[in-house]
Each structure stands twice: as structure tokens, then as C-alpha cells.
Structure 1
Amino acid sequence: MISAHMDEIGFLVRFIDDRGFLRVQALGGFDTRNLFARDVTVHARGGALPGILTPGGKPVHIATPEERKKIPEVKEFFIDLGLDADEVRAQVRIGDMVTLDQSARRVGRLVCGKAMDDRASVFLLLETLRALRGQDLRHELIAVFSTQEEVGLRGAVTAAYAVEPTVGIGLDVTLAVDTPGVPAEDAVTQLGQGIGIKVFDSTMISHRALVDRFWNLAQARGIPAQLEVLSLGGTDGAAIQRSRGGVPTLTLSLPTRYIHTVVEAVHETDLRAGVDLLVAYLR
């Protein structure tokens, strides 16, 4: 079983005030410093509504120095739909989903946009299936495109219990903090240096035999790869590993800059390396 998650971090509407402003509940982990003055879409019953997400408070022109330094919590953010309160209540209800707006684009050799976590891995898995089309594999291969990973690995849990795999492989992104202001020891991975082979994160320790197998295969085939130790975070691999009596599992990690923002960036070399290594292992 190979699992990549389709869901993205976002929000749902939790309250509509008497002026028609929406308050939100976060779905996934946000750094609120990246949420100021963002375009959003509210997915209402009658259709998509464009909105502006921003925190409550004074603009910089009239804020005190202390107020300018304050980092708001998610509960302080609101959405302005530009409609009267009655119009908002007629179209929006509690629980409607909210997504951040951002177009994907190429930036040099990077692919940049929102929800690379984890749709870049969805792409990787689709390309793997395309490369294996028509071939006879030694084992049955189940490709899972899961949901609700960002709120607790939920889809992969139910999928793993249904599939009952013998071997599990999670596909997800990982930190590439190879940017100014961060010591090399905290970078986790580096963009353009190959697919990450996860050794450890806070939810799983990859099966050592699988780590060795993938690493040795990458070295033998000349596929760029790097070993990854992530102090926090988790993937679908953890859900597979913990299902039933336990499943030997490994996660392949796509190095990504600016995770959980709308400018998540992955490198084309790492994408290709991920496909090549996964195809080599499955063959």
C-alpha cells in the first residue's frame, strides 16, 4: 500500500457575527504570520464566494509599536465577503469550507504554490503508476489517495485497515529549511539533492530493512536521495505502520521549502528522483 494525501490545510466557518464577518476554525497547522491579508474562497451551498482573510486590529498606520509586534492567533482572524450581514447569512452556513487562493507557477527549477503538501506526492504517485502501466509486478500494488491527513492521518488509518497491506509506503513532503537564517544542522533536507528517505519523525520510525533497501537501491541506480530525520510532524506512513498488528513501513519524503504556506516549493530533480526510486523498488 502506497498512500499520498489529497487534502490541504484550510478552514471551516465557525461563526457569523452581526455585521456579516466570518470567524474560522483551522483545519491543519498554520503559522499565522503567513495569513495576513490573504485571498480566500468560501465554498458555500450556492457556489464559491471570494473573500479576504485578515486578523482583527488596527492597521500599521495607527497601531502602537507593541501592537505591530503582536502575532495573532487563528481565533482573531475574520473573513470579509463584502456583503451585507443578511446576504452572508442567506448564503453561508456554519461548517462551510474555506480555502486559501494561490496559483501554482514555475520559479526557476521549482514548482511553487499552495498544497504541494501533499499534492506534489499525489503527482509522484500518479507518475509512478503511469510508469508501471502494463507491467507485471511481483506483488499486488494498492495506491491510496487519502484525505484528512492534516487533521490526524485519518484517511490512511481507515484505508490501511481495509487494505491490510504487507508493506506500507507513505508519500509526503518534508522540511527543506536550506534558506538564510537557519543553521545547516536544522535544514532537515536540501532542495535538489534528491528524494528523502525517512528515518524518523515524531509519529514513526521507518522499518530499518526498508530504509536500507531503498538507500542501497538509490546508490546502486545513481538516483539522488538523502536520509531524513524530522523532529516533528507525521505522515500517512505512521497510520499504515500502526494498523492491525503493525506493518513494516517507510515514508519517502519530498523536500519542500516554505511548508504550510501558499508558496510551498518543490524541486523538479527531487520529484524525478522520487518516481525513479519508487519505480525501481516496485519492479
Structure 2
Amino acid sequence: MAKKDETLQMLKDLTDAKGIPGNEKEARDVMKQYLEPYADEVYSDNLGSLIGKKIGDKKGPKIMVAGHLDEVGFMVTRIDDKGFVYFQTVGGWWSQVMLAQRVTLMTKEGELTGVIGSKPPHILSPEARKKPVEIKDMFIDIGASSKEEAKEFGVRPGDSVVPYFEFTQMKNDKMLLAKAWDNRIGCAIAIEVLKQLKKEKHPNIVYGVGTVQEEVGLRGARTSAHAINPDIAFGVDVGIAGDTPGVSEKEALSKMGDGPQIILYDASMISHKGVRDFVVDTADENEIPYQFDSLAAGGTDSGSIHLSHNGVPALSITVATRYIHSHAAMLHRDDFENAVRLIVEVIKKLDHNAVENITFN
């Protein structure tokens, strides 16, 4: 009998979990289940971010490794008289990836399947076919015949609406297709870092964190960083893969499988030079592949963490991912594993002297 791939099962469980900003409980419960065996203590802040604490040296510096639990999705705003459901986007969406896609409504009566409605091409004028449908005009069909029936199904304003997609290992089994890689892969990195440190000596206290509400303003990163007060922080997230047709090197440089991305700059922060140099040197020493990237727009949890307390030296380490902020995204397993390996090697060297040298680099 083939040995069960426990890491692959964790990745499936994390991405299958449903959790848009403000309703991350299901994803948090899955992360907690996988984090608890490797943490000395697991707790949450008052917004719902999950924090796993692993003590190497109880007098050592505090190192925070943070992925975010939430995924982009929608929220029910109203139901019309015919039973069609209207919604607000929660997180950033491009209208062209939304029509005719299956979704799951999280109602008080349980999960409910819906589909974002679309017009068949037969009734569209040539002009209409060229014009994108605006998000404000979209609706979800849940198969209800009236507002009353929709309410009987348990639907009400404020309910979460989550993209539906089944985790899929591609024919090239390094390629993994799933919803919510943004950012359950960051949560998986935080779990796996603590797992690999379980039997290692490390001169610090490590916090593996699953933050809430990243997609709507890096909010859980702020509260969890306040709870931890870290000395050094790593935001772990997805980045943009530029290796598909139609994407130029000016838009995105990185390629799947070429190693984790070290983010130099994004709209939320300039990476800390001392941390960046320390990580790059560690990667070179251990022959771990990596690639540099910068983003003119967007940001990661590092953007909030580095501004907490009196400032936290921080760096974002990301996994190049195709098709993010849609129903299905793809990444390369080697990039995930090399991101974990790199962060573990960095943490093993982060004693007080290293942190002091980094801080004033």
C-alpha cells in the first residue's frame, strides 16, 4: 500500500475549507488541527487570528511567520422578489472571472449551492457581447422561486458566499490546482515551519500565525502582531506568476518552480534591508533557489506587521501562483517546500545577536 501523503492532505483540507474575510472559522479550525501537534500553545486574538507558539529559547527573540486564513469571496446584500441573490465582493475581483461560476452560500441552515447567473450568447447583441458585465449587475441563482423560498432556504443578508472548486493534483503531480491558495499556502507554510522545528534547536520563540481579514486591509495582521510583539516577521503569501501567455516580464517576472519569491517592494511596504540580506545570504549558503519580485500594487500582512508597536523588521516571502483572485489557482509544490526550508534555516540562525545586527543594518 502506498504511503499516505500527509502534506498533500493538509493542503487539500486547507484549501477546501471555506473562509472569506470576517468568517474564517472553518479555515481556522483546519489550521488549528494541523498546528496543535507542533506548538507549545495555540490561541486566538479577539478578531479570530490563530497563533501557534513554539518555544526554542524562552529568552530568545520572537519570530512571527504569518499567512492569512481568508480567501476572496462575496457577501449577500439582498434577495429580490424572484429569489435571486445579490451580493457585495469581499476582496478584489475582476468581473471577467465571475460569470457562470459555482458558489457556496453559508447560511444558518447550512451550505447552499448557487451559480452566478449569465445570459446565453443567443440573446446578446453584438455590442453587448463586447461589453463586460459590471459586478453590480450580477446575481446568484440558488434555484429559489421567490424571496420567501430563498428565506426558507436560510439565506439572509450578511451570509458568506464562497467560490467552489475541488482541490486537484494535476498530471504533473507537482502542479496543484485549488481555490484559496491565496492564502492557505501561507497557512500551510506556517504549519510546516513549526513541524520541521519540532525536533530542532532554535534560539528563539516562533509564532506560526493564521491571520484574518487580510484581503480587506491586512486587519488580523495588525491585531495578531500587537498580541505577539515580534522582533522579526515574515509575511508568507502567494505572489504573481508571470509564466503564462499574455503576461510580459514587465508585468511579472517570476516562474513557477524557480523557488520562493523574495519581495523587494509592494504598495504596503519596502522590505527591510537587513532581513532581506540575511534571508538571501541564508538561501545562498544552503543552495535554496529563490527569485526576486516587486509589486506596484497590492500588499501582504507584512504591511501591517512592520508598522506595529515601534516597528518590526519584516519581509514577505511568497509562492508564485497563477490565476489568483479567481475560482481556481495553480502553484508548484517545490516552491512551497523551498519556502519552508528557507524560513526554517533562517529561524535556526536568528538569535539575539543576529536580530540586533539585522535591525540596524
Give aligned pairs, total.
281
Structure 1 match to 2:209 = 144
Taking the aligned partners of 2:346 and 2:274, their CA distance within structure 1 comes to 13
Deviations 1:247-273 (A, max 9, x none): 111110111111111221111121111
- Aligned to 1:15, the other structure's residue is in SS state strand
Which amino acid in the other structure matches residue 26 of structure 1?
A: T
**Counterpart-to-counterpart distance in 1, 2:308 and 2:253:** 27
Residue identity matched to 2:182: D
How far apart in 2 are the matches of 1:273 and 1:54? 41
Determine which of 105, 109, 121 is the counterpart of 2:186. 121
Which consecutive residues of structure 1, in runs of 5 or more, have no partner in the other structure?
A: none
**1:44–1:93 contact (8 Å) kept in structure 2:** yes
Deviation at 1:73, TM superposition (A): 2.1
Q: CA deviation at 1:181?
A: 1.5
- The one-letter code of the counterpart of 2:198 is R
* Residue 180 of structure 2 is aligned to residue 180 of structure 1: no
Paired residue type of 1:111: L
Aligned residue identity for 1:250: L
Match of 1:54 in 2: 117
- Could you tell me which residue of structure 2 aligns to residue 29 of structure 1? 92
Report the Cα offset of residue 136 of structure 1. 3.0
- Alignment of 1:78 with 2:139, yes or no, is yes
Q: Structure 1 counterpart of 2:116, which letter?
A: L
TM-score, normalised with respect to structure 1 = 0.96
CA contact (8 A) 1:8 1:118 kept: yes
Aligned to 1:14: 77
Matched, 1:242 2:307: yes
* Distance in structure 1 (CA, Å) of the matches to 2:283 and 2:68: 24
Percent identity, please.
Answer: 38
**Whole-Å separation in 2 of the counterparts to 1:219 and 1:185:** 26
SS class of match (1:149): coil
**Contact 2:67–2:185 (CA<8 Å) still a contact in 1?**
no
**What's the secondary structure of 1:61's corresponding residue?**
helix
Aligned pairs (5 A) from 1:176-255: 176-255=241-320
Provide the residue aligned with 2:338 in structure 1: 273
* Aligned match for 2:164, one of 95, 98, 101: 101
In the alignment, which of 229, 233, 236 is matched to residue 164 of structure 1?
A: 229
Instruction: Look up the equivalent residue of 2:303 and give its one-letter code.
Output: A
Distance 2:165 2:291 in 1: 30
Is the 1:35–1:54 Cα contact (8 Å) retained in structure 2? Answer: no
* DSSP 3-state at the match of 2:123: coil
